[in-house]
Amino acid sequence: MDKRPLIGIMVSNRRSRKRILDLCQRYHNLNLKLFAFTPRDILWKKQRIIGLSLKKDKWTQNSFPFPHVVYNRCYNKKPNTIQRLEAVIGRNKCFNHINFFNKWDLNKRLVQSELQPYVPNTFLYKEVEISKLLESYKLIFIKPIYGNKGTSVYRVERMDNDDIHISLHSLAPTYICRNNESIGEKLDNLLCRKTYMVQQGIPMLGLDHPYFDIRVLVQKGLIGEWSISTIVSRVAHKRYFNTSMCEYIYEAVEVLRQLFSLEQVNDILQSLRDVSVKAAQEAEIQMGSLGELSVDFVIDQDSKLWIIELNGKPQKSIYNDIKSFKGKKLIYSRPLEYAYYLSQS
């Protein structure tokens, strides 16, 4: 009888099973069995799951018993399937309960924590008057509370002549609201279908070009505690502010060394580690059991760190663009280490 723990990786569709399973299988060296499945593959009445696995170097689809632990890779807003699974396999045996984060709920959580000094002032769009906010901040960002990859994020800036420039992805204005026009009406027409929040614009520290961020990947591993896996920097294309559509990606230390002394770089890196772990802990209180997330930061002109947002399903393909990147094994193996840890507890 095979005594290895059985770990299920839940993905959103069958096309994703082989790709994700292949990456996880390639980079771990744990004594466990892996298979990938979708929510639709769960046969609740039979207590079985149809899944894909690698057996003797061949991909095969079989019927599996319910696993000891589930690693959720679906991009979900609600934990319904996870809760049903845990009712069968045990509480806290699934992780990443919710990984499509409600940015507004999470923002409120961070503001109420010791991380409040790192969080820009943020408001629900429907509860504020944009013209008054622009008088206070001059620059704001309007983003959907459910969003990813910078989609539908608007940069809104009051210019010196009182015109208001509204930009999407690039710094060049997509719309210009003249000083005799209503910015509220203009934005209401743009933002009619989603729920948005408004974030204070941070005057960012300039590199040779102004828009870059720092992404910290935080994961749990074999001892079940949060730790930092990678810290990278995404540099946007020239004349663009959306770092999700980045031109370059580097290890963050390479970028920081261009701006700060060695001692300052070490201090910033330590702050990034400490703040990111605390942010992950707060996110887990808000969202339920998690095993990985990323925290995005910018640095302002006074060298202060600001948390821009947290992402519950970190995009790991971005690391393919870093030359001589040495962390690939770590970023794919750590969630399986955490799954192994849960299987033993």
Is 210 in contact with 239 (CB distance < 8 Å)? no
Angle between helix axes 14-27 and 328-344 (nearest 10 degrees) is 90
DSSP state of 112: T
112 lies in the same domain as 233: yes
Position 208 scores a pLDDT of: 66
Q: What confidence score (pLDDT) does residue 47 get?
A: 95
Is the pLDDT confidence value at 167 over 90? yes
Q: What letter does residue 240 receive in the DSSP assignment?
A: B
Tell me the C-alpha distance between 23 and 29, whole Å.
Answer: 12
Question: pTM of the predicted model, to two decimals?
Answer: 0.94
Q: What is the pLDDT of residue 237?
A: 85
Nearest to 92 by CA among 314, 284, 334, 276: 284
Asked if residue 27 and residue 142 are part of one domain, the reply reads no
Last residue of a domain, one of 162, 184, 200: 200
Tell how far CA 312 is from the center of its chain.
4
pLDDT at 253 (0 to 100) = 95
Q: Mean pLDDT for the chain?
A: 92
> What CATH number should be reported for the domain holding residue 260?
3.30.470.20
Examine residue 332 and state whether it is found in any structural domain, yes or no: no
In whole angstroms, what is the distance from residue 183 CA to residue 181 CA?
6
Inter-CA distances, 309 with 171, 223, 285, 296, Å: 20, 26, 16, 5
Q: Does residue 17 carry a pLDDT above 70? A: yes
Shared domain for 180 and 217, answered yes or no, is no
Supply the pLDDT for residue 123.
Answer: 97
| CA 39 from centroid of its chain's CA atoms | 22
Is a pLDDT exceeding 70 seen at residue 22? yes
Rg (CA), the chain: 22
Based on the fold, state whether residues 230 and 308 are members of the same structural domain. Answer: yes
Residue 295 pLDDT greater than 80, yes or no:
yes
Same domain, 15 and 43: yes
Which of 203-207, 312-316, 329-333 comes out lowest in average pLDDT? 203-207
The predicted model gives 227-236 an average pLDDT of: 94
Write the DSSP string, 257-307. Answer: TTTS-HHHHHHHHHHHHHHHHHHHHHHHHHH-S-SEEEEEEEEBTTS-EEE
Q: In this predicted model, which residue has the larger pLDDT, 82 or 193?
A: 82
26 in a structural domain = yes
State the CB neighbour count (10 A cutoff) for residue 157: 18
Classify residue 244: in a domain, yes or no.
yes
211 and 107 in a common domain: yes
Asked if residue 193 has pLDDT above 80, the reply is no
Looking at 59-63, 208-212, 229-233, 303-307, which range is the least confident one?
208-212
Which residue, 214, 192, 218, is CA-closest to 204?
A: 214
CA distance 182 to 188: 10
* Whether residue 237 sits in one domain with residue 179: no
Instruction: Give how far Cα 156 sits from Cα of 178, 195, 254, 292, Å.
Output: 13, 17, 30, 32
Does one domain contain both 177 and 287?
no
State which amino acid sits at residue 283.
A
Instruction: State whether 30 and 48 are in the same domain.
Output: yes
Would you say residue 152 lies in a domain? yes
DSSP string computed for 157-204: EE-TTS-EEEEESBSS-SEEE-TTS-HHHHHHHHSSSS-EEEEEPP-B
Give the end-to-end CA distance of the chain in Å, rounded to a whole number: 21
Q: How many domains does the chain fold into?
A: 3
- The amino acid at residue 253 is V
d(CA 8, CA 53): 10
Looking at the fold, whether 242 and 309 belong to one and the same domain comes out as yes
163 and 73 in a single domain? The answer is no
Q: What is the DSSP letter of 91?
A: T
- Quick: pLDDT tens for 24-47: 988 888 999 999 999 999 999 999
Q: What is the DSSP letter of 318?
A: G
Residue 232 belongs to what domain range?
A: 103-116+205-314
Mean pLDDT along residues 88-100: 95
Which pair of tokens denotes residue 11? 């993905």
Instruction: Please tell me the total number of residues recorded for the chain in this structure.
Output: 345
Asked whether residue 293 is assigned to any structural domain, the reply reads yes
Give the per-residue pLDDT at 286: 93
Look-up: residue for tokens 């079989």?
62
Q: pLDDT for 243-291, tens place per residue?
A: 887 888 899 999 999 999 999 999 999 999 999 999 999 999 999 999 9
* CA–CA separation, 135 and 107 (whole Å): 23
The conformational region for residue 95 under phi > 0 = left, psi -120 to 50 = alpha, else beta, is beta
- For residues 145 and 139, the answer to whether their CB atoms sit within 8 Å is no
- Tell whether 176 and 269 lie within a shared domain: no
**Cα(328)–Cα(230) distance, integer angstroms:** 9
